[in-house]
Amino acid sequence: MIRAEVELSFFRRFLWIAIACLAGTGWCLLDAQVTYPRKREIAQSYESFPQTAEGIQQWEKEAEKNGWIPDAPEKSSRELEVSILNQYILMAASISVGLVMFFKWYLPRGSWIEGTEDEIRDSSGRTFALTSLVEIDRHRWEEKGIAVLRFNHEGRNQKFVLDDFKYQREATGKILEQAEKKLESLIREVQPKTEKVV
């Protein structure tokens, strides 16, 4: 029996993305709860004064009293309300992506695939007999380490993917070799029968 354990280094990138999304969520929360509401308060105060020489003087006194910069705000209070809403939208998107990435990192932990001379199975409980093999597609094996094993189960065509980035490379390669040998022997068994019929 050959066992290929999960290659956690492959999945670690998803953890880093999840952490980046968490940091992004924190940044959005800070902007939505602190930065933009403070700017909106300043903008609302500025907008409450008439745009006259006297109004500008009153605004400058108000700004000085509150420790604000007396310049006119870059954005109106309405624009800042939109900015606050946008931060919550970005936060929701960041949390969603972060959760997906976290589970992509977390769920494969402890997973494996096993191969014997008779069958291939994985940690999720999926098993298929090598005698049911129909085809092995390895056109992406050399560059990407992906091979697709197609087999027939209860009259339905199904597939099992071997990926030597996700699972230990050497062991995954040996499982593929076993499957290829079995498929070759199945083809040899079928050929003489076909020749006799002809």
The pLDDT of residue 38 is above 90 = yes
Q: What is the pLDDT of residue 196?
A: 53
CATH assignment, 112-197: 2.30.29
**Cα–Cα distance for residue pair 20/2, rounded to 1 Å:** 37
Model pTM? 0.72
Q: What is the pLDDT of residue 187?
A: 85
Sequence spans of domains, the chain: 2-106, 112-197
**Cα–Cα distance for residue pair 95/101, rounded to 1 Å:** 10
Taking alpha carbons only, the member of 82, 88, 105 closest to residue 27 is 88
Q: How confident is the model at residue 191 (pLDDT cuts 50, 70, 90)?
A: low
